[in-house]
Structure 1
Amino acid sequence: MDETIAQLHGQSPDIGEGLRAAVALRHLADSLEAREVARARASGWSWQLIATHLDVTKQAVHKKYAHIDR
């Protein structure tokens, strides 16, 4: 794990590998966030409470995930 983290901090000799890792992490983070927002909404959390936990505005989280309530 420490080797992977070291590679993500630019210590890998293969720049492409580092960039691919960054993209993979971004996709993983986006997927996790979407699942947790859906779970929060299903549990009755308000958009404001979700926004507070994500450190974004209520408007930003609602715009991004409003489709979850449909």
Structure 2
Amino acid sequence: LEESTQTNDMEEIRPVLRKCYDFIAEVIFEGQFTGQEYLDGMDAREILKMTGQLLASVSVGYDAAYAETKKK
């Protein structure tokens, strides 16, 4: 996602965002809705901010778990 957004090319960014939406729907919300439903249900002004926050919440948990495992 970070690499594709640096280009500002929506043809490159759009498929990556779709994968992010699908990941959020399938993994974080355990399939309660689809990636498309996530996108459709969000306010367009908030979608990128909320998506970033949700993805960050997963990586922060991963980083903390990895740091604990590494210490042991």
User: TM-score with structure 1 length normalisation?
Assistant: 0.43
Rg comparison, structure with higher value: 1
